[in-house]
Structure 1
Amino acid sequence: MAVSYTAVVDVDGEGRNGGHVRSSDGLLETRLALPKELGGAGTATNPEQLLAAGWAACFLGALRRAATTRGVRLTSTAITAEVTLTHGEDGEFSLSAVLSPVLGGVDQATAEELARAAHQICPYSKATRDNIPVVLNATAAA
């Protein structure tokens, strides 16, 4: 398999609680902070937000590919990605996700079918498959 691209990101400091993130090309540079819900200041982004952003962007690309493959013309695409950090009584942490794409130019059944197809195509979906619960909530735009 040929390599298409490798992202390189360094994180230093306290990781999710006060760490600093920087990509090798300098295009991504930000601080990390615990969200208020976890007792932090909530003054910077966090790993769950970064995962949600990357997954959502990738998923929209997969949706467009699925539509093109099927000869479907989308008039618009948008998505909300929710990545939830949970912990059990044993103290172990885990993730779950909800992906809610909104697709223009198609009916509800087609929106749902394209979302299912995109979930098979998207590398983030493939990487998390059978590892975390994922809910797809596709909607046809009015």
Structure 2
Amino acid sequence: MSYQDTELVSWSEFTRTRSELGTAFLRILGYFREDGAKSIGAIEEAFRARNAAALVTPAHTLKGESAQFGAYRLSAMAEEIEMVARRCVETHEGPDELIEVVVALRPCFTETMALLDRDANPLVARRPATFSRRAEAPAQGFGRAV
């Protein structure tokens, strides 16, 4: 299965991780944000240098950390980069075939982090999307003269 077919975030995995990490969750998510940005920068730099060996470690790191938070598409992209880079090292080829994945990596990370941050924010009200006031009932209540 291609990374394009992979769901962006597995909310069940995200919820499981949040539950397991407890009060450390937001701190660890912050580490993921920092480490992810560093890994992506290292991947981009290695790709520009056509250095397949230098792609392996940051892609491997990003793959594991992404999967931990349920960021499955990002993890699948990192895995593809890692596997192709390993093959390129073995066959002494450049990693040119990875250009589309490498270019799509940062936007995917940005989109994923926006979703994770939105759901992780303790100030965000978590109400059903169908919540609304009943327009047909007149507003009567506290502080109103009836």
**TM-score, scaled relative to structure 2:** 0.26
Larger Rg: 2
Greater helix content: 2
Greater length-normalized contact order (CA 8 Å, ≥ 6 residues apart) = 2
